[in-house]
């Protein structure tokens, strides 16, 4: 996605217009699992027999049924255009077996969209990321990097909290969590899809730096997964190594 684009711009590019109806996956579900589910779901739609699926649906609630078969049933139920199928998936999620909750949530979302498309006679757009979202907002994980190797002071931590709250609120965004480790800080926030992400966080960093230029302008942002501080440091070390190697090549 280009730096000055937002998610709405990308949807317009793909569909010609922003749809009146769309659904955001709110739960944080691993991207690889999402891809696996939807690929599997497409396969399950081939030669689907709705009556047969409904007859077998109670197997979801039996302890002696293999998890893989339950996954198959969930994917098939999500493709049946019946309220009863949706309610069965909903009931399954009240107490899902270990390891099947996220699969069930994806089936629930697909089933919900299928019914809404049928009732409203309008195709739905399903928007999902690894970090999920909230209403019409998507969740992002942002890494801030101190300009000096020293640990952030308590006052710098307070400035980050205050300025990010202030700037994000201006864009109807919401900070959900902060974490600090040494000269690194992470921010988890939900941001409306019609907002240009890069400019929001650049503005917040600029406001923080009015109190002493203690953050570098560059930052890491992802909506795929939350990173541990070890993963962040490993990534930064690799980037520094690449930079050093490139400078050595230029020198020679």
Cβ proximity of 57 and 85 under 8 Å: yes
> Looking at the structure, do residues 35 and 116 belong to the same domain, yes or no?
yes
What is the value of pTM for the model shown?
0.76
The residue whose two tokens read 């969740």 is: 139
> Looking at the structure, do residues 159 and 200 belong to the same domain, yes or no?
yes
In a domain, 175, yes or no: yes
Tokens for 117, please give them.
């498309």
> Looking at the structure, do residues 110 and 41 belong to the same domain, yes or no?
yes
Chosen domain end from 82, 99, 127: 127
Enclosing domain of residue 121: 30-127
Dump pLDDT digits (tens) for 203-247: 999 999 999 999 999 999 999 999 999 999 999 988 877 766 555
Cβ proximity of 167 and 174 under 8 Å: no
Let me know the angle formed at the C-alpha of 91 by 133 and 24, rounded to the nearest 5 degrees: 15
Chosen domain end from 127, 156, 189: 127
Residue 18 has pLDDT above 70, yes or no: no
- For position 214, which CATH number holds? 3.30.70.1290
DSSP 149: S
Dump pLDDT digits (tens) for 135-186: 889 999 999 999 998 999 999 999 999 999 999 999 999 999 999 999 999 9
**How many whole angstroms separate alpha carbon 173 and alpha carbon 180?**
21
Chosen domain end from 74, 97, 127: 127
> Looking at the structure, do residues 99 and 139 belong to the same domain, yes or no?
no
Residue 124 has pLDDT above 80, yes or no: no
> Looking at the structure, do residues 230 and 155 belong to the same domain, yes or no?
yes
Cβ proximity of 81 and 113 under 8 Å: no
At a CB cut-off of 8 Å and minimum separation 6, what does 232 contact?
Answer: 143, 184, 186, 220
In a domain, 5, yes or no: no
> Looking at the structure, do residues 153 and 222 belong to the same domain, yes or no?
yes
């Amino acid at each position: 996605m280009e730096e000055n684009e937002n998610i709405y711009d990308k949807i317009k590019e793909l569909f010609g217009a922003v749809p009146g109806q769309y659904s955001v996956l709110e739960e944080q579900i691993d991207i690889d699992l999402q891809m696996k589910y939807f690929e599997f779901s497409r396969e399950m739609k081939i030669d689907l027999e709705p009556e047969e699926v409904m007859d077998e649906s109670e197997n979801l609630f039996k302890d002696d049924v293999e998890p893989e078969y339950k996954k198959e049933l969930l994917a098939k139920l999500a493709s049946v255009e019946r309220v009863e199928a949706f309610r069965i998936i909903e009931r399954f999620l009240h107490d899902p077996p270990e390891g099947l909750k996220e699969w069930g949530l994806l089936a629930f979302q697909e089933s919900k969209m299928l019914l809404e498309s049928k009732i409203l006679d309008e195709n739905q757009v399903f928007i999902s990321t690894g970090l999920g979202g909230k209403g019409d907002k998507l969740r992002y994980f942002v890494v801030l990097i101190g300009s000096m190797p020293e640990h952030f002071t308590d006052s710098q931590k307070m400035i980050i909290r205050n300025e990010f709250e202030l700037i994000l609120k201006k864009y109807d965004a919401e900070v959900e969590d902060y974490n600090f480790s040494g000269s690194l800080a992470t921010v988890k926030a939900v941001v409306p899809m019609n907002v240009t992400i890069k400019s929001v966080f650049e503005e917040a960093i600029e406001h923080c730096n009015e109190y002493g230029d203690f953050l570098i302008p560059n930052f890491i942002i992802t909506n795929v997964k939350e990173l541990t501080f070890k993963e962040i440091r490993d990534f930064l070390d690799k980037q520094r190594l690449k930079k050093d190697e490139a400078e050595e090549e230029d020198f020679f």
